A = this chain, B = another copy of it.
Amino acid sequence: MNGPVIVLVEPQLGENIGMVARAMANFGLTELRLVKPRDGWPSEKARAAASKADHVIDATRVFETLEEAIADLTFVYATTARVRDSYKPVAAPVTAAATLRGRFNAGQPTGILFGRERWGLSNEEVAMADEIVTFPVNPEFASLNIAQAVLLMSYEWMKSGMEDVAATPFSGLEQRPATKEQLLGMCEHLEEALEARGYFRPAGKKPKIVENLRAVLSRPNFSEQEINMLRGVISSLDRFSRKNPRGAKPLGDTDTATEDASHDGSARDGE
């Protein structure tokens, strides 16, 4: 066993059983049990809806009664959306997943019961479980189907085994944070290009304008790669014009001035 057994009590539609298998497989659960599926078993509709979770479908076991389906388990949750008038403890999915994970780590076989599409589990069926788990749904629209409920529990099960729930299976390309020297280099590069164009006026306002400009350029906390790209942008705007773009050979110019401008900002002269 690699996690709790998922038990569906009298499921009606093969499609739903298939979607349950698919939900389970996404989060590493593989053991599915059915109590009296209405349309029998195996089900081609279930296999189609399982979207290649064939290992779950092939291993699915069918039982005549819920008692038999849970006979070998030591701890069982019943899922329910309705308020139950019982003394059974009621857990949120995160709490239930943590409990199941603890028992799994201790080698105990556990299960989660899901009721019929129309009316869920009977009180007698809930009574066979150890605890109840219920979902924090919008009280004005509480309508999870069984495949959705299985998906949420499977997802919480997967998360309960992660050291850090904020971890992701992949991450963005690593960016080296820029040093303040690199940031200041870009600022000075830009300020010099602007100065040459008479941007700072009146001259007395230049210190305040520079201060504001540097505030704008500091806030994004640019990475080294981003600063290199931005310096290339500044160089291009500074060195070429719409009339004399890079690579053009205007009369009277040598072509050397345009050949060393790169996109990574390494060229910054050429005024």
| A94-152 CB contacts (< 8 Å) to partner B | 94-95, 132, 134-139, 141-145, 148, 151-152
A173–B85 contact, CB under 8 A? Answer: yes
In the complex, A251 has a CB within 8 A of chain B: no
Complexed CA–CA distance, A172 and B86 (Å): 6
A168–B87 contact, CB under 8 A? Answer: no
Complexed CA–CA distance, A25 and B144 (Å): 10
* Size of interface on A: residues with Cβ below 8 Å to B: 53
B53–A168 contact, CB under 8 A? Answer: no
Of A158-166, A185-193, A211-219, A237-245, the segment with at least 4 beta carbons within 8 Å of chain B is: A158-166
B170–A53 contact, CB under 8 A? Answer: no
In the complex, A76 has a CB within 8 A of chain B: no
A90–B26 contact, CB under 8 A? Answer: no
Residues of B within 8 A of A27 (CB): 137-138
- In the complex, residue of chain B having the shortest beta-carbon distance to the beta carbon of A131: B172
In the complex, A175 has a CB within 8 A of chain B: yes
Distance of A200 from chain B, by nearest CB (Å): 32
B22–A143 contact, CB under 8 A? Answer: yes
- In the complex, residue of chain B having the shortest beta-carbon distance to the beta carbon of A53: B141
In the complex, A71 has a CB within 8 A of chain B: no
B26–A88 contact, CB under 8 A? Answer: no
Complexed CA–CA distance, A221 and B129 (Å): 19
Complexed CA–CA distance, A62 and B225 (Å): 38
In the complex, A223 has a CB within 8 A of chain B: yes
In the complex, A249 has a CB within 8 A of chain B: no
Q: What 8 new A-B contacts, CB under 8 Å, besides A28-B138, A52-B143, A83-B170?
A: A26-B135, A26-B141, A51-B145, A91-B166, A91-B168, A136-B155, A136-B159, A136-B168
